[in-house]
């Protein structure tokens, strides 16, 4: 069975500091992995996705994530946090094309301190 | 502009009443989904539909019902059998065609349902 674990339900960083949001997955088949961002009372917006092409994936708003099979991880990073990055972030795994279901992590709320 | 619309944004319901949440997409996507979001629990799948006139239960289907009569529409009814319906409901769609996409799900803005 597949699963996703996001370590840290709340993360605080100072403006300009590195953002690191952790995601570990469990999958018996090569996974597709996703990071989404959600601002208060809004839907989810895709940040980036891993689809077995490059292991380092660049997304929108300066975010990137690296797929590490040996560590079953897909951590999200951004070199310099901005106040507008404050939101909730969700990691998700899909079994691949033709499969319609995602498994979502429980989310990490990012707070950016001035 | 292509996208997913959900209405209403806020919905209040009295206990014992059924209520229907609307979800419409003009992305020409085959698959549609309903999720429930509660604080600290992430998103949980209620129902999904891969094609018109077909749908399957997700992980928490009890107390909910859906229909898929048109490709563009996937309404969700929260019935009085749902014990704790107060939550944020999100609709999504995707087009799982090999070579065209990689199962990316696109989300609507959500409906916040409150039971009084």
Question: pLDDT (tens digit, 0 to 9) for every residue of chain A, 114 residues total?
Answer: 778 999 999 999 999 999 999 999 987 777 889 999 999 889 999 999 998 778 899 999 999 999 999 999 999 999 999 999 999 999 998 865 555 678 899 999 999 999
User: Which chain A residues are Cβ-neighbours of B113 within 8 angstroms?
Assistant: none
> Which tokens sit at B20?
């229907």
Residue B104 pLDDT: 84
> Dihedral, CA atoms, A18, A48, A57, A52, nearest 10 degrees?
140
SS3 B73: strand
The pLDDT score that the predictor gives to residue A100 is 64
Task: Name the token pair of A21.
Answer: 């949001």
Structure tokens at B112: 């916040």
Q: Which of A53, A54, A47 is nearest to A23 (CA)?
A: A47
Q: Tell which of A7, A90, A102, A106 to mutate to test the B interface (max B CBs under 10 Å).
A: A102
Q: How many helices (H) and strands (E) does chain B have?
A: 0, 11
Structure tokens at B68: 């898929």
Closest in A9, A44, A98 to B40, CB measured: A9
Contact B96 A41 (CB under 8 A): no
For residues A31 and A2, the answer to whether their CB atoms sit within 8 Å is: yes
What are the residues of chain A with a beta carbon less than 8 Å away from any beta carbon of chain B? 9, 32, 34, 36, 41-46, 49, 51, 90, 94, 96-102, 104-107
Interchain pair A34, B109: CB under 8 A: no
What values do phi and psi take at A34, rounded to 5? -135, 150
Query: Position of tokens 């279901």?
Result: A101
Closest CA to B100 of A98, A52, A44, A30: A98
- Residue A36 forms beta bridges with which residues? A46, A90
CA distance B18 to chain A (A): 23
B45–A101 CB contact, under 8 Å: yes
């Amino acid at each position: 069975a597949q699963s996703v674990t996001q370590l840290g339900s709340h993360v605080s960083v100072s403006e300009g500091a590195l953002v690191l949001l952790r995601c570990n997955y469990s999958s018996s088949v090569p996974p597709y992995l996703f990071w989404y961002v959600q601002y208060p009372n809004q839907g989810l917006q895709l940040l980036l996705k891993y689809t077995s092409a490059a292991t380092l994936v660049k997304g929108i708003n300066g975010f990137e994530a690296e797929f590490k099979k040996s560590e079953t991880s897909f951590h999200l990073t951004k070199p310099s946090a901005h106040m507008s990055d404050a939101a909730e972030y969700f990691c998700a795994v899909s079994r691949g094309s033709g499969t319609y279901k995602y498994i979502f992590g429980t989310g990490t709320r990012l707070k950016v301190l001035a | 502009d292509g996208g997913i619309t959900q209405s209403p944004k806020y919905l209040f319901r009295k206990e014992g009443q059924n209520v229907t949440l609307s979800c419409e997409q003009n992305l020409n996507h085959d698959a549609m989904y309903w999720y429930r979001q509660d604080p600290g629990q992430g998103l949980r799948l209620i129902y999904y539909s891969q094609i018109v006139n077909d749908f399957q239960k997700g992980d928490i289907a009890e107390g909910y019902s859906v229909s898929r009569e048109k490709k563009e529409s996937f309404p969700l009814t929260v019935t009085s059998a749902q014990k704790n319906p107060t939550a944020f409901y999100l609709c999504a769609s995707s087009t799982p065609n090999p070579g065209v996409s990689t199962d990316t799900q696109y989300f609507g803005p959500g409906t916040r349902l409150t039971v009084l």
